[in-house]
Amino acid sequence: MAWLTWLVVIVATAGVIIRPWRLPEAVWAVAGAVILVIGGLLPWRAAAEAVGRGTDVYLFLIGMMLLSEIARREGLFDWLAAFAVRQSKGSAQRLFLLIYAVGTIVTAFLSNDATAVVLTPAVFAAARSAKADPLPCLFICAFIANAASFILPISNPANLVLYGHHLPPLFSWLAHFLLPSALAVGATLAALLLIERRNLAVRITSDIPQPPLSQGGLTAAIGIGLTAVVLLTASAADVSLGPPTALAGVATAGFVLWRKRETPWATLRGVSWLVLPLVAGLFVLVEGLGHTGVIAALAGWLQAQAQHSAQATAWGAGIAVALVCNIMNNLPAGLIASQTVTAGHLPQTVTDALLVGVDLGPNLSITGSLATILWLTAIRREGADVSFGAFLRRGAIVMPPALVLALAGLFL
């Protein structure tokens, strides 16, 4: 029945990517997971365990989404937008570079999901205030969220998945990934400047008033800053990142609402909760694939190839998983890669290349990573949208050179 499991997984992931009838991505992932269970293709206990393995990711996302929603409601994004526009001094390119720098920092210290959830609304507000086309700047949030997602261990929840929540020490991580990250970030910037050169040549409005920052907005900003500190501390102590992130989000939102004597219902309604069943469904789909024996076979094949040439295997594995991420999303791809590494006892160079592929590969398509799906959800809330084809046309220019340079950086 392995072929039937593969059919269900392929149809479900295709639904997540294509979104027939404009149904949310979560509907397709959950439907595929349910079919695997009720069709007897995956024991319900195995499915429940797969859902449970995503607990750290769910908590991480809950914390980030709460921080984003309370910051949006309290006007922090509007304040940041006005500041960025005034600093641009009428130059669209200056605004573009400022947003790119901020996006790199946010991704490195708060994760790529934070860039998608927290930064995107601020960028949209900045473009709106500057009376500029928002899409060039919004694409920064999508592409830098993946390009900078392996600067630090905490820069991408997929890093937690790939290493099974046992991340290497910070200095060891930097020794492996600092140069590849710098090459990926630089190559992505160069590609985006080339793509958007005409849009960046125009003058924009910069003489706008700076709105006052409310007490709630200031509290949200402090909460986001403290969350970054908490994440770095938890990473250094080899502690799961989900619980402290969720606690930071709940505490920040709760304190703001308590001071304003407001109920939480409006804030909770503003959170994109469908992201959580999407992630759970993807974990179950991967578990279904595992029951077909494909992961064990893949681990054995990679181990045999690595014995002949670890470097060639690393290149092949990194490129292959980068492409696979755009077919089935990088979160399940990262989980498959993690199980493959564990089963095959692969060399460190192969593991590093797999991580680069999992983190950077999704820049090819709009459904390649959870961060990009969150980004798409955020811009839809603002009344904009980006088609699969529009993203792919940019991704085909942005991703390949960044991936090749990052993989090359692993061996320098």
pLDDT at 1 over 70: no
Q: How far is CA 94 from CA 88, 115, 150, 204, 246, in A?
A: 5, 19, 26, 10, 35
Mean pLDDT on 307-328: 87
d(C-alpha 316, C-alpha 302), whole Å: 10
d(C-alpha 118, C-alpha 136), whole Å: 18
d(C-alpha 391, C-alpha 371), whole Å: 14
* Its pTM surpasses 0.85: no
pLDDT tens for 26-36 read 898 999 999 99
pLDDT tens for 102-150 read 889 888 887 888 788 778 888 888 888 888 888 888 898 899 999 999 9
The chain-wide mean pLDDT, for the chain, equals 85
Residue 347 is predicted with a pLDDT of: 83
Residue 203 is predicted with a pLDDT of: 86
Classify the phi-psi angles of 56: left when phi > 0, otherwise alpha if psi is within -120 to 50, otherwise beta.
alpha
Q: How far is CA 220 from CA 70, 285, 349, in A?
A: 7, 36, 40
165 touches 235 (CB < 8 A): no
